[in-house]
Amino acid sequence: MASGGRDLSTRMSAEDENIVNKYTNDIALTCFKKYKVEISGAITTTFPFLELIRDRGFITDEMYEKSQESFKKRFTVHEVIYDVLSELEKKFDMSILQALFSKVIMNKYTDLYRIYKIFNKEIPDIKSFLESDEEENEERPNYHLEQGMPSGQEARNESSQASDIMGTVDIGNNSKSGKAKKRKRTTMHTEETGNFNAEILPVTCGDVMGILIKRKLQRGATVKCIRTEDGKWCTPREFEGEGGYEKASNWKSTVYCRGRSLKWLIESGYLPQPPHDRKRKLEKKCNICGDEGKIFKCSFCLSFFHEDCHIPPVELERKDWLCTFCTIEESPQSQQHASYSEVLLRQMGPEEKSKCVFLLLKLYCHLEKNIFQNIPDEHYVQKASQCLQTLRTLDEIKNKLNGGCFTKVNGLVVDMKKICQDSKHNDSVLTEEEFEKIFKEVFSIQ
């Protein structure tokens, strides 16, 4: 019997280890997707990065040669590296990070130390997964995690909710009596992995359940960012009231996600810290996303924008600030009625960049106001997740444009068509025909 007990203990330990490894890999993949632009910006030359990942079997000789040719012809180093990172993402595991943060790569591209610090903060016990030998481990900066890794039991709870975002949730000691309460199972599902990095998170307050949209919370605490089971949208404070804590006025501590308070998620970096915004008597909405929150007014057209919804970000210190829509319409256009091929070959000068910014704003408006706000109740989480994934990819293109990664207009168009042609984005209703139509309008193409 004793021997059998030890065998069971060993099996359970192995199972726990596998669950934790999968949990860590999921978080690592999320970070890798999120910071691809920053990683590509830190790698300033193709050598020795491309050579190392080829030698370790992450890319084929054919892809290596193709990347080198792209660099020699027309693409910047950042564009080439970004495309390579996108390929690595398809077959991601921790060995890719082991190569990225290896001694030879970190010493060559010192800006990667900043990226490593971010990964070290967000991924539990990352050093144990990256260690390949003692010498390499000594060369890495000795960053310390600011939060601990969940226990084996917590990891199992996270993993079990990967396909059931609103499953049985133990919200812990958040009731006045101090007793934990089991929440009922509902029929809302999602494909997101069961961790705090997902864009859509299950939340509870008292006996009320809902889903939290991170992207909306980022715009302010007065934004209706939580959707209840019956389809009602609430601010965090309103959701707190729905759960019977209307007198608490402390939603960060009364609203829970998988046993953790939203205060803990914010302090741990899993949720954005919403900006402080006062509720106005006359509620105004952002011209891009259609949400309320902390917004700023264009001095010419009097439209309102969130600081980060606008491209470039709102210039907070300027009293006579003009939005991009007004700037484009007021500025003279030197090149009119060009052909499609001529526009694609244009260098990304100031005028072309401003038009690309204008184009992205129109696409954001289309996705945020026309699509995301009108998702039907049926299969809401699934369709909302797909739309949010499209918006995240659009964010990456915006960052590449702001970072000067596109040398020609064609670079942005290629990335946009990848979104349109990717099956993951089909339900976002961002079709290639829709993009072409907006693109031709912005660039006055015949």
pLDDT at 162 over 90: no
Rounded Cα distance, 407 and 349, in Å = 8
Q: How far apart are CA 446 and CA 428, in angstroms?
A: 28
Query: Please, which pLDDT band fits residue 49 given cuts at 50, 70 and 90?
Result: very high
- C-alpha 36/C-alpha 58 separation (Å) is 16
DSSP one-letter string for 224-248: --EEETTS-EE-HHHHHHHTT-TTT
Please tell me the distance from the alpha carbon of residue 167 to that of residue 161, in angstroms, as a whole number: 6
pLDDT > 90 in the chain, percent: 19
CB 267 within 8 A of CB 261: no
User: Can you tell me the mean pLDDT for 33-50?
Assistant: 87
pLDDT tens for each residue of 69-114: 876 665 678 888 988 999 999 989 889 999 999 888 988 888 888 8
Selection from 356, 430, 431, 435 nearest residue 391 by Cα: 430
pLDDT greater than 70 at residue 135: no
Q: What is the model's pLDDT at position 88?
A: 93
| The pLDDT value given to residue 277 | 64
- Taking each helix axis from N to C end, the angle separating 112-122 and 2-34, rounded to the nearest 10 degrees, works out to 140
- The average pLDDT across 233-250 equals 89
Q: Is the pLDDT of residue 412 over 70?
A: yes
CA-CA distance, 40 to 19, in Å (whole number)? 30
**Mean pLDDT confidence for 219-238:** 91
* pLDDT value, residue 169: 34
pLDDT of residue 435: 82
Looking at per-residue confidence, does 317 or 359 come out higher? 359
pLDDT of 134 reads: 37
CA 179/CA 197 separation, integer angstroms: 28
- What is residue 168's predicted lDDT score, i.e. its pLDDT? 34
Nearest to 236 by CA among 252, 219, 247: 252
Q: What is the pLDDT of residue 225?
A: 93
pLDDT at 5: 45
CA angle 394, 399, 403 (to 5 degrees): 150
Q: What is the mean pLDDT of residues 204-211?
A: 91
Q: Please state the rounded mean pLDDT for residues 255-280.
A: 83
pLDDT band for position 426 (cuts 50, 70, 90): low
Which pair of tokens denotes residue 140?
A: 């890495």
- Calculate the alpha carbon distances from 76 to 32, 38, 45, 73, 311 in Å: 21, 15, 10, 9, 23
Please check the confidence at residue 160 and state whether its pLDDT lies above 90. no
Average pLDDT over the chain reads 76
As a whole number of angstroms, the distance between CA 267 and CA 150 comes to: 15
**323 or 22, higher pLDDT:** 323
- In the predicted model, is pLDDT for residue 151 greater than 50? no
pLDDT tens figures, 281-333: 456 889 998 888 888 889 888 899 988 889 988 887 777 888 988 887 655 55
Question: What average pLDDT score do residues 382-410 get?
Answer: 88
Residue 124 pLDDT: 61
More confident residue, 83 or 21: 83
Confidence class of residue 419 from pLDDT cuts 50, 70 and 90?
Answer: confident
Q: In this predicted structure, what is the pLDDT of residue 424?
A: 61
Three-state secondary structure of 160-193:
HCCCCCCCCCECCCCCCCCCCCECCCCCCCCCCC
